[in-house]
Chain A
Amino acid sequence: MEIKVEHITRVEGHGNIVASLQGGRVEQAFFQVVEAIRFFEGFLRGKSWREVSHLASRICGICAISHSTASLQATEQALGLALSPQAQLLRRLIMNAEILSSHALHVYFLAAPDFLGLKSVMPLIETGPEVVARAFRLKKTGYELAEVVVGRHTHPVAAVPGGFTMAPEESALRAVRDKLTALRPDLEATVELWKTLEVPEFSRPTEYVCLRRPEYYAFEGGEIVSSEGDSVPVARYGEAIEEHVVSHSTAKHARWHRESYLVGALARVNNNWRQLHPAARRAMEAIGLQPPCHNTFMNTAAQVVEIVHCVEDSIALIDEILSLPLQEEWEPEVTARAGEGVGAAEAPRGLLIHDYTYDEQGRCVRANCVIPTNQNLANLDADMRALLPQLSARTQEEVQLRLEMLVRSYDPCISCSVH
């Protein structure tokens, strides 16, 4: 049986599935990334420190805030800039906003149709308008939260090295807080919807990698941890993550302890579930996600859990921000200097690293970006090789759909991975 899916749909960017199964034996199985290269690491060189995060955000339209956050951290470290406590809270808030809207997009628009036997969410506009309205509400509220804090979800405006050009308005924060609390019935309905879906059975233990902070469920900063019981500081990511070029893909692959590892919602929930908001832990139990979960199809379930976490945590963060008088934010004074810095964020799809060197004028002379989807590609290929033999009794069409579902459960962000 030969499978070739060219430009798989309902994912971000361009990739193909190539697989061949002969008499129950996998001859080949891989995900081929055919996205055009934009060379961010090339043209960031020569750009000044203030321009770098503006550009870095444009690596990805879905996870622009993550790129911006990792980029800002790297620049701040290189230039020796520190964030105020309020700015730190605001950074966490916009990370939540992005994870919420990105996961809502994936759960409802990209992944769910497979489980419902649909080719897209479009038919639901007529047959299940309340589901579509709910999906848009979740996604849009994430957008609105980002708008309140940084002006725009794609691409953020007000987040700059050292802080923010402007603080959000108190009334706007209160208004978006009301919208977040109004999402609670939608959160319940999302968990209920997931419970009705039939998730393919599959299990392949692998290495799970994400950021961790002692104080809270980390979407930025902290250190890099592996389920193999190892950890490294973000600045020494190079000792852990080994990126390598494979010929079938314009996106590089990566490994650490094992031949491959997984990043993203399932890796975070597997490693850090104890730090989830209690409501999210309840959702996790209701869904039947038991860490450590080795079924990659459950990555989408882990996203449902994180949607609950992000909504509840954002409400708590807004309360914390408003518990003190709101401080003005102002474009920080920065003196250019030479330096190096590494920043890290948990993008919706997993660990993201930006690593820069600046010269004395504050111009970037070296940039390296490690993207979540790249780190997942080797793991995806390994999952495909493990899954295929279990499908040998099925029709070509069924096998193809199952492989597409596997790819989609990774929620790959392909243009991001090639950058």
Chain B
Amino acid sequence: MAEKPRIAFFDFACCEGCQLTVLGLGEPLLKLLERVEVVTWREAMSERSDDFDIAFVEGSITRDSDIPRLRRIREQAKVLVALGTCATLGGPHVSANNCDRGELLRLVYGGEGAQFEAGEVRPLSAVVQVDAFIHGCPINGDEFLTVANHLLLGKAYHPPSRPVCHECKLNQYECVLDRGQICLGPVTRGGCDAICTSRGSQCFGCRGLVDDPNLNAAREVLAEHGYTVSDIIGMFDIYSLRSPAAAEARETARQDRGAIEKGAEPWRSR
């Protein structure tokens, strides 16, 4: 029998909710574990190895001192997957980039803040090449399994390019805009099966913008429903959808996602 692909999980600045979503899969995860060997997963096991094929990396980079660790993972991994919005776009804490670091440190640690390192929140792709992106805060467990299956078959994975609105309408959920709430579904990348609007909540844009979002049209729709520009900008700011860093991450994602097509079933070459 061919050697099983070796996979590893790593995390940087994040809430670890995406790893937890993987652990919470139950049966399907056990099925997947029959086909791969997990060699490093600090949160779940003490065994560790630097010899792995696929690295799932969760979290954003906020300290330069974390960069060498990420680079080592990149060097070792044949395929590096960014797991969750912290890793793909910066995550919910990306709006800390709108504040002054020194002030933030003073706010939290008072006069003793200066001893701690804190830098700009960056997605992984700002530091290393990323081969596959699984968006979502948190990720959708089914999408994780789909991506894992693609990688195990040596196929590239393209995140869906339809907006959340599309999934929401297919499911015939009641539109929350009609109920008087702001919803970012028209411009947000789908793949979550519109889980938030399915429960009568609005979409906060956690999966980032679709590839070609029409922001102005979305603003108009929202304004028609009586929202001020500052309300809407507030929503866009939660996952920093307007920020240059987010735009750059989207661009890098577009350029990089052909990368694993070049090396089909990369671990077989071992």
Contacts and interface: CB of A to CB of B under 8 A. Distances in A.
A197 interface: no
A47 B23 contact: no
A101 to B, nearest CB: 7
B52 interface: no
A120 B44 CA distance: 7
A64 interface: yes
A247 interface: yes
Contacts of B16: 12-13, 60-62, 415
Interface stretch (A68-76, A132-140, A201-209, A296-304): A132-140
B15 A64 contact: yes
A120 B195 contact: no
A245 B116 CA distance: 11
A41 B107 CA distance: 8
Contact of A155 (B115, B138, B176): B138
B104 interface: yes
Interface string B24-47: 101101100100001001111111
Contact of B20 (A40, A62, A133, A157): A62
Given A9-B46, A12-B43, A136-B27, A155 B17 contact: yes
B43 A36 contact: no
Contact of B116 (A12, A38, A160, A250): A250
Contact of A415 (B15, B115, B181): B15
A113 B95 CA distance: 39
B15 A58 contact: yes
Contacts of A10: 42-46
Interface residues of B, number: 65
Nearest to B179: A331
Given A150-B199, A151-B198, A109 B108 contact: no
Contacts, number: 178
Interface residues of A, number: 63
Contacts of A9: 42-43, 45-46, 48
Interface in B192-244: 195-196, 198-201, 204, 231, 234-235, 238
A109 B181 contact: no
Given A61-B138, A151-B199, A245 B110 contact: yes
A145 to B, nearest CB: 12
Chain B CB within 10 Å, residue with most, of A36, A140, A157: A36
Contacts of A252: 109
A100 to B, nearest CB: 12
B132 to A, nearest CB: 21
Interface of A: 7, 9-13, 35-43, 46-48, 51, 54-55, 58-62, 64, 101, 105, 109-110, 113, 119-122, 125, 132-133, 136-137, 139-140, 143, 150-155, 157-158, 160, 165-166, 245, 247, 250, 252, 330-331, 415-416
